[in-house]
């Protein structure tokens, strides 16, 4: 299972990379805005800085919603670095753009997936990844995890190469459940990944080991 971090914050990306378990980064226009990153050149420079930290797979989202605009923006993003994955929303022109980038050998992440039908279309159009949003479905009383399982099942039925990238992952149990149902990737804030480390028995066990060691050493 691959772990991506969902942020535009360079310090957080560096910290996650140094943990040794990071496989990629996702961003979106809201996360870029949250980081105060705006303006074409600044945005591109920021993506380059992210690419310089990690080994591969940096999702950079287009803003255009028409085919020509998405292609133009996506090509410009892909030119920044070979690590860029062009992020495209699941809308009518987005499907055409997915097909175009697939034919050009440029990787894509199809975002804002909220139904299995959308995920099926994205796979048929040649998306490299689909991003179903778990937390946002949970927020409105739909079962986000059920959607992940459904998409995994459908892709397995037809051997689609598109990877299921679970997004809007809010806590460590979301992440673990994604692993259980077979999501290929999760993207989440760093605290969701570090949350997996925590166990009270590890903390108390370590405290006992250290205390016993100190006692034996006569400290």
* Residues involved in catalysis: 87
Q: Among 135, 138, 163, 194, which residue sits at the site for ligand G3P (rule: CB under 6 A)?
A: 135
Q: Among 3, 5, 6, 25, which residue sits at the site for ligand G3P (rule: CB under 6 A)?
A: 6
Q: Among 28, 118, 128, 162, which residue sits at the site for ligand G3P (rule: CB under 6 A)?
A: 28
173 close to 134: Cβ distance less than 8 angstroms = no
183 close to 146: Cβ distance less than 8 angstroms = no
Query: Which residue number, 140 or 201, has a Cβ lying nearer to ligand G3P?
Result: 140
Query: Which residue number, 109 or 150, has a Cβ lying nearer to ligand G3P?
Result: 109
* C-alpha torsion sign, points 179, 15, 110, 99: negative
Q: Which stretch binds ligand G3P (CB under 6 A): 13-21, 129-137, 178-186, 208-216?
A: 129-137
110 close to 83: Cβ distance less than 8 angstroms = no
Query: Which residue number, 99 or 136, has a Cβ lying nearer to ligand G3P?
Result: 136
Query: Which residue number, 34 or 79, has a Cβ lying nearer to ligand G3P?
Result: 34
CA distances (Å), origin 184, targets 2, 78, 107, 138, 206: 6, 23, 16, 20, 33
Consecutive H or E run containing 74: helix 67-80
- 167 forms part of the interface with ligand G3P (CB under 6 A): yes
d(CA 115, CA 90): 10
- 136 forms part of the interface with ligand G3P (CB under 6 A): yes
- 150 forms part of the interface with ligand G3P (CB under 6 A): no
Contacts of 177 (CB under 8 A, 6+ apart): 145, 148
d(CA 152, CA 181): 7
Query: Which residue number, 108 or 187, has a Cβ lying nearer to ligand G3P?
Result: 187
- 187 forms part of the interface with ligand G3P (CB under 6 A): yes
Point out which residues pair with 108 in neighbouring strands. Answer: 86
Q: Which stretch binds ligand G3P (CB under 6 A): 48-56, 60-68, 127-135, 175-183?
A: 127-135
- 168 forms part of the interface with ligand G3P (CB under 6 A): yes
Q: Give the binding site for ligand G3P (CB under 6 A).
A: 6, 26, 28, 131, 133, 135-136, 167-168, 170, 187
């Amino acid at each position: 299972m691959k772990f991506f971090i969902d942020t535009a914050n360079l310090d957080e990306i560096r910290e996650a990379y140094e943990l040794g378990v990071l496989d990629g980064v996702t961003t979106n226009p809201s996360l870029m805005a949250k980081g105060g990153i705006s303006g074409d050149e600044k945005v591109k420079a920021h993506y380059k800085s992210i690419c310089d930290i990690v080994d591969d797979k940096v999702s950079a989202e287009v803003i255009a919603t028409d085919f020509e605009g998405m292609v133009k923006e996506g090509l410009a993003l892909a030119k920044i670095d070979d690590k860029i994955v062009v992020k495209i929303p699941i809308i009518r022109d987005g499907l055409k753009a997915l097909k175009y980038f697939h034919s050009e050998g440029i990787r894509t992440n199809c975002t804002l997936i909220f139904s299995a039908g959308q995920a099926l279309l994205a796979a048929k159009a040649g998306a490299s990844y689909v991003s179903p949003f778990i937390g946002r479905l949970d927020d409105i009383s739909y079962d986000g995890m059920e959607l992940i399982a459904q998409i995994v099942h459908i892709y397995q039925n037809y051997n689609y190469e598109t990877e299921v990238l679970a997004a809007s992952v809010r806590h460590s149990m979301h992440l673990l459940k994604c692993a259980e149902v077979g999501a290929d990737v999760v993207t989440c804030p760093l605290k969701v990944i570090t949350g997996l480390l925590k166990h009270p028995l590890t903390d108390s066990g370590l405290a006992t080991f250290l205390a016993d060691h100190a006692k034996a050493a006569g400290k």
